[in-house]
Amino acid sequence: MLKYLYIENIAVIESAKIYFDAGFSVLTGETGSGKSIVIDSIMTILGERTGKELIRSGENHASVSAEFCDISSDVSEFLIENGYDVTENSLVISRTLNTDGKNTVRVNDRPSTVGFLKQIASKLINIHGQHSNQLLLNKENHRNLLDEYINDNSEFDNYSLAFADFTRIRKQLNATYTDQEEKLRTVDLLKYQIQEIEAAAIKVGETEKLRERLNVLKNAEKTAKNLNTVCMLLKGGDESNGVSNALQDAEKILSKTLTPKSEEFLSQAANIKEAAAFLCEQIENEAEALNFSDGEFTSCEERLSLLKEITAKYGGSEQSALDFLNQAKLKLLNIVNNDEQREKLEKEMDIAQDKLIKAGERLTAIRTKHAIALSKQIENELLQLDFSNAKFVVNIEKGRYTREGCDEIEFLISANAGEEPKPLIKVASGGELSRIMLALRTVLTPKTDAHTLIFDEIDSGISGIAANKVANKLKSISAHYQVICVTHLAQIAAKGDNHLVVSKDVKDGKTYTTVEKVLGESRIKEIARIISGEHFSESVYNSAKEMLGE
């Protein structure tokens, strides 16, 4: 349970240390005195999101600390599992807020995080505020409340897995569907592109070789003429003896000339004659190779034109065209395989859908079973809260399949005898909502781990007999849980085992809020103030005294 709460520089509270006891504690005070700040402070140490605007004006930081004693074994185990020491079954949480937006959190004197506070919050305190009543006005919350009552995740987990599997397969299946006409157009285009590139029989480097060959062919005639002229100069002809004949004549003359080097000159002349003959032979072969047909030239030009056209369409080069061909084949294969994959997924979809339907039916069955039990328990609780003829129904109808199931769940109520139950969100008044929510919280509390329950102005919209009934209900709950209630009703305040009064004062232009425990005469006067205001009569004082059993 919550043992104490220390508040420093939170809004109008400069400093306050509040001790709480077991049983039923009430907080009272005039409107605007700061009761909500106490609740905000508790929510702060439970990890609720807050900002620097909560820091008292003129200060650069604020802090809240709380000690919980007699914590449950579940809380102790949770703390130990997360590396926190636990001594004497106590838990101390502190949180400091700074104007620079930074937060400091400590759990049992060890650094921690706001995220961890959120994890442990539900195991410590259950807060029911004015806004909680509004939850009942949203039909979506009715399902959550029923599931909280069931407190068994097994069937819901099975359904969640089935829904996730169904959703995954449906997404994959939808991805395989394309417009049939668009698909046919894509297939035709891919086939045409593949056929066109394959027909071209492209080879990397062929374009460059063709260009070189055409360049040779274009200059072949002139080249052949020049080569033939060189051969004529070497071999000689009708008009010229040529180099070879001249060398032959030179050999004859040298053979008849006797000098010390005649033999050497003769050998050299023979070598030159042989080299000239060899050179002439090579030139004649080259000239002969230059002979080509007109068809070869045309063929080269046509081939080069085709390659230029294909590469221009498919990337600009032979390699890019071949890469495009491979990609086109892969795309076509994927489309063909897509049909097979779709057929496979359609079969998987049927199986997943069948599993989802069955899981949904099981979830609906367990919800229906517990809806009947919850309805009866709520009716019993409402009977104790001045709903003498109330009929409460948890209505379940078939809905579409979502992450939460396939059930449309709505609370129906009839507050008067002879009337058929109607949607709670349409017929319940503010005071009725408060009592219905209290009834729900009474039934649901044993399903939670929290041992401390906080009710922030649960008395909204009620008075008279209903107020007495609510007070008695809160008192009865406090026999099993620590109950802290912020109230404006004397009937509720008078039932408290412990009474804390929140008051404010202005000093030197600043507002200060204090929280004090009241006993005896002070408490009688506070109850009287609640009944009729600051200036109360003797009869009101006596009424307050009577309410307290003084």
* Summary count for the chain: helices (H), strands (E): 19, 15
CA 59 vs CA 6, 53, 366, 416, 497: distances in Å: 17, 11, 54, 55, 36
Helices (H), 386-463: 424-427, 430-444
Q: Where are the domains of the chain?
A: 1-136+448-517, 182-313
Give the C-alpha separation, 56 to 60, whole Å: 8
pLDDT score for 86: 87
Distance CA 511, CA 504 (A): 7
Q: How far apart are CA 346 and CA 320, in angstroms?
A: 38
Residue 183 pLDDT: 79
Is the CATH code 3.40.50.300 the one for domain 1-136+448-517?
Answer: yes
Residue with tokens 């399902």: 143
Q: State residue 498's pLDDT score.
A: 93
User: Which residue's entry shows tokens 């274009």?
Assistant: 218
Residue 394 backbone phi and psi in degrees, to 5:
-95, 100
What is the predicted pLDDT for the residue at 351?
A: 96
Burial degree of 176 (CB within 10 A; 0-12, 13-18, 19+): middle
For the entire predicted model, the pTM comes to 0.65
3-state secondary structure of 225: helix
> What is the mean pLDDT, run by run of 10 residues, along the chain of 550 residues?
92 89 91 84 88 85 92 88 87 91 89 90 81 76 90 90 94 75 84 93 90 78 75 70 76 78 81 84 76 73 90 92 93 78 88 96 94 93 84 93 93 84 82 83 81 83 83 90 91 92 84 88 92 87 87
By CB atoms closer than 10 A (0-12, 13-18, 19+), residue 264 is: exposed
DSSP 271-340: HHHHHHHHHHHHHHHHHHHT---HHHHHHHHHHHHHHHHHHHHTTSSHHHHHHHHHHHHHHHHHHHHHHH
Q: Which among 13, 10, 52, 6 is positioned nearest to 511, based on CA atoms?
A: 13
